């Protein structure tokens, strides 16, 4: 049987070899955390099944310090996942499973994409929250079908990033006792030893957040790590941080405890010296059979899952409806009557013909849909009374003893933390999280939105107070460039609906997505209801459609959000003056761009001049209006004044649109 030393050194060797072959990567962290990984994955309580990485009750493992990705790839390979030695040899190469940082969907066993530091631990908070709330909803006496831990490795960089402060504070407040994090306290970052820029009392800080903290242990002593794990598991009302003192690049004679081993290959000579120093007498990518046998978790994983399957069979026999709902939600399936629910809601909303703010229309959509979707888990960043993410069945999430009750999360003023926690909740399964803040503060959350799009997960991001329509709060709060830049994120659907019906359809479309996150952008001010035919309502789902038409149009007015109504009114005036104008509503440019060319051409006919109207920066609209067209927009910051005055000041008026249309037609 392989010794502990050999089992840990297998990680070191694979990390050195893969980084060297790629001539790129971070060998130091895997070498420094090898014994911690051995304690958790090899000898400890990490319950997973390499032959079924999606088993519902598996533990979740998050590598927040994702630059050390070879640690996770080595563990996946050694324990029996479908990650071959050839995959390790292809580290950081085109189309490889083993990307430069762990990427969700590329290799089995990767629970989330990490790399931007701090987001992994924040995702982990979302995973742990999802587990706790799912257990509350589904577990029955003697039948705990939801009962697993979230384990997270993190480094100094994660702790320096502000998002980790946001997430850690919430984890303590929520008492997430099944979240256990390991701090790789090696004292090194890219610039060298961290004492010049990272002198926080990290254990004290986490204790102040309400965490259980295991103060510094020897991270190279598996027994010490195992003891710390057992101590952490025994504390069920607090998340735990295990502080592990380690040496980065452990085993390297000349580059250990140095930033030289952080982000660069060790070099052939140093690898040879390291092999000799640690007693690893095997060639590159060569793992002895006894080491493989020591790491193999296929049999143990199958047994763990079989035990749970037996438990779930008892659960299903005793609680068939709950079991069916659990399976539906974990399969990310909508209720069987979803289309009927949407159709009824659209018909009712269209019949009411309300002129209200689209943030209120958004709340109406939630009231229509969420009663049939118990997996919807809402929240806001301290703005519930303004963003209207609560619905008639919402109850605030709060802690009662060691339990969490409620279904609407107050994240506090933590926009970035909220967005990344939602990604973790979405990735865990069983929930569809949505959360909101003002559109201006999407800037704080931006990186988490990008990660949702990168991971192809359908997290729902809600933003209100979408333009100069915010009014008196002024340019610090008036979103001018945010909508345009959100549209630039690949694989992100951005909706800016113009009234109640478009808001409802936008919500339905977003809920139906399985691989695309959605950004739903709503107004503070009331927006005029627009009458539509059934065909026009159906075409809302195409992102852009003809709302008002005229025979042989001479000009096309493209409106979105609060600016659609002024386009409708301008078209009427133009018609009275003998100029035929078509009005196109474009609630989602991203979705419109996915339609076939024939449909796009039917909406925006060639040869007819176009004007786009949106209270924001203009560049994104140039591709729709062309060189001969025009854009009524806002390529500057706003002002502090009532919204109506601002729209007049910046030219969002019927008179201005009519004048511009006439100029184009001439």
Q: Is 54 annotated as a binding residue?
A: no
Structure tokens at 366: 């939630």
The burial class, CB within 10 Å (0-12 / 13-18 / 19+), for 424 is buried
End-to-end CA distance of the chain: 87
Residues 6 or more apart in contact with residue 52 via CB below 8 angstroms: 301, 305
Residue with the two structure tokens 């002895």: 288
Residue with the two structure tokens 């763990």: 304
Give, for 189, the enclosing helix (H) or strand (E): strand 188-189
Q: Is 52 annotated as a binding residue?
A: no
- C-alpha 605/C-alpha 546 separation (Å) is 11
Q: Is 26 annotated as a binding residue?
A: yes
CA distances from 354 to 169, 348, 388, 392, 571 (A): 41, 11, 17, 19, 22
Supply angle C-alpha 306, 310, 313, rounded to 5.
135
Q: Give the DSSP letter string of 333-393.
A: PPPTTHHHHHHHHHHHHHHH---EEHHHHHHHHHHHHGGG-TTEEEEESS-HHHH----TT
Residues 10 and 22 sit within 8 Å (Cβ to Cβ): no
Q: Is 188 annotated as a binding residue?
A: yes
Q: Is the dihedral of CA 419, 424, 427, 432 positive or negative?
A: negative
Q: Is 101 annotated as a binding residue?
A: no
Collapsed DSSP state (helix, strand, coil) of residue 154 = strand
Q: Is 471 annotated as a binding residue?
A: no
- C-alpha 424/C-alpha 32 separation (Å) is 27
Residues 523 and 497 sit within 8 Å (Cβ to Cβ): no
Q: Give the DSSP letter string of 443-484.
A: HHHHHHHHHHHHHT---EEEEES-SGGG-TT-TTT--SSHHH
Residue with the two structure tokens 């690049």: 249
Q: Is 116 annotated as a binding residue?
A: yes
Residues 356 and 501 sit within 8 Å (Cβ to Cβ): no
Q: Give the DSSP letter string of 204-253.
A: HHHHHHT-EEEEEEETT-HHHHHHHHHHHHH--SS-EEEEEE--TTTT-T
Residues 6 or more apart in contact with residue 8 via CB below 8 angstroms: 34, 35, 37, 38, 222
Structure tokens at 115: 């790399």
- C-alpha 266/C-alpha 261 separation (Å) is 6
Please pick, among 415, 502, 563, 614, the residue that the annotation labels catalytic. Answer: 415
Q: Is 319 annotated as a binding residue?
A: no
Residues 595 and 543 sit within 8 Å (Cβ to Cβ): yes
Structure tokens at 369: 């849909």
Structure tokens at 21: 């072959």
Q: Is 524 annotated as a binding residue?
A: yes
Q: Is 386 annotated as a binding residue?
A: yes
CA distances from 646 to 75, 167, 411, 471, 641 (A): 58, 38, 32, 7, 6
- C-alpha 94/C-alpha 586 separation (Å) is 37
Q: Is 593 annotated as a binding residue?
A: no
Q: Is 477 annotated as a binding residue?
A: yes
Catalytic status, residue 333: no
Q: Is 441 annotated as a binding residue?
A: yes
- C-alpha 157/C-alpha 135 separation (Å) is 32
Structure tokens at 135: 């257990």
Structure tokens at 357: 């703010």
Q: Please tell me the number of Cα atoms within 13 Å of 321 on its side-chain side.
A: 1
Q: Is 94 annotated as a binding residue?
A: no
Q: Is 165 annotated as a binding residue?
A: no
Residue numbers belonging to the annotated binding site for Mg(2+):
156, 186, 188
Q: Which residues are catalytic?
A: 415
Residue numbers belonging to the annotated binding site:
26, 67, 115-117, 156-157, 186, 188, 262, 359, 386, 441, 465, 473, 477, 524
Residue numbers belonging to the annotated binding site for thiamine diphosphate:
67, 115-117, 157, 186, 262, 441
Residue numbers belonging to the annotated binding site for substrate:
26, 262, 359, 386, 465, 473, 477, 524
């Amino acid at each position: 049987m392989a010794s502990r030393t050999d089992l840990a050194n297998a990680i070191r060797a694979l990390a050195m070899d893969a980084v060297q072959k790629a001539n790129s990567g971070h060998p130091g962290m895997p070498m420094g955390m090898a014994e911690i990984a051995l304690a958790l994955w090899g000898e400890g309580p990490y319950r997973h099944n390499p032959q079924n990485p999606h088993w519902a009750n598996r533990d979740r493992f998050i590598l927040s310090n994702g630059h050390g990705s070879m640690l996770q790839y080595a563990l996946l390979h050694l324990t029996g996942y479908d990650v071959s030695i050839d995959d390790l040899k292809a580290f950081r190469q085109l189309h490889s499973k083993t990307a430069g940082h762990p990427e969700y969907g590329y290799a089995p066993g990767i629970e989330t994409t990490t790399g931007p530091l701090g987001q992994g631990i924040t995702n982990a908070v979302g995973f742990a929250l999802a587990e706790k709330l799912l257990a509350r909803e589904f577990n029955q006496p003697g039948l705990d079908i939801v009962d697993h831990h979230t384990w997270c490795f993190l480094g100094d960089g994660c702790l320096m990033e502000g998002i980790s402060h946001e997430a850690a504070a919430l984890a303590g407040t929520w008492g997430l006792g099944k979240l256990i994090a390991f701090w790789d306290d090696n004292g090194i970052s890219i610039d060298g030893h961290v004492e010049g820029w990272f002198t926080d009392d990290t254990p004290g800080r986490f204790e102040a957040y309400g965490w259980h903290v295991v103060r510094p242990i020897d991270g190279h002593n598996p027994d010490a790590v195992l003891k710390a794990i057992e101590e952490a598991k025994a504390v069920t009302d607090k998340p735990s941080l295990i502080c592990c003192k380690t040496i980065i690049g452990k085993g390297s004679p000349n580059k250990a405890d140095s930033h030289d081993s952080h982000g660069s290959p060790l070099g052939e000579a140093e690898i040879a010296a390291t092999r000799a120093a640690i007693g690893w007498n095997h060639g590159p990518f060569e793992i002895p059979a006894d080491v493989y046998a020591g790491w193999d978790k296929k049999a143990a994983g199958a047994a763990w899952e079989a035990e749970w399957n037996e438990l779930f069979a008892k659960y299903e026999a005793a609680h068939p409806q709950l079991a069916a709902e659990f399976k539906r939600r974990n399969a990310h399936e909508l209720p069987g009557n979803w289309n009927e629910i949407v159709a009824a809601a659209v018909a009712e909303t269209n019949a009411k013909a309300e002129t209200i703010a689209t943030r209120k229309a958004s709340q109406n959509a939630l009231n229509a849909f969420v009663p049939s979707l118990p997996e919807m888990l809402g929240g806001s960043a301290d703005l519930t009374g303004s963003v209207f993410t609560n619905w008639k069945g919402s109850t605030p999430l709060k802690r009662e003893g060691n339990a969490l009750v409620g279904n609407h999360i107050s994240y506090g003023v933590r926009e970035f933390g909220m967005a990344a926690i939602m990604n973790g909740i979405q990735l865990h399964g069983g929930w569809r999280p949505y959360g909101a803040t003002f559109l201006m503060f999407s800037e704080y959350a931006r990186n988490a939105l990008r990660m949702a799009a990168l991971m192809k997960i359908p997290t729902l991001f809600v933003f209100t107070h979408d333009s100069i329509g915010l009014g008196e709060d002024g340019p610090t709060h008036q979103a001018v460039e945010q909508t345009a830049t959100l549209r630039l994120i690949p694989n992100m659907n951005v909706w800016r609906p113009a009234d109640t019906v478009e808001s409802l359809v936008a919500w339905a479309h977003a809920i139906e997505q399985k691989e695309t996150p959605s950004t739903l952008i709503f107004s503070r001010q009331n927006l005029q209801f627009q009458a539509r035919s059934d065909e026009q309502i159906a075409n809302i789902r195409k992102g852009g459609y003809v709302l008002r038409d005229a025979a042989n149009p001479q000009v096309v007015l493209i409106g979105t959000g609060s600016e659609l109504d002024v386009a409708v009114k301008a078209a009427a005036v133009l018609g009275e003056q003998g100029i035929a104008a078509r009005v196109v509503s474009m609630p989602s440019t991203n979705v419109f761009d996915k339609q076939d060319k024939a449909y796009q051409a039917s909406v925006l006919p060639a040869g007819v001049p176009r004007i786009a109207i949106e209270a924001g920066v203009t560049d994104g609209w140039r591709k729709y209006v062309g060189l001969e067209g025009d854009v009524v927009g806002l390529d500057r910051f706003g002002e502090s004044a009532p919204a109506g005055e601002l729209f007049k000041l910046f030219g969002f008026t019927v008179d201005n649109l009519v004048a511009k249309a006439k100029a184009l037609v001439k």
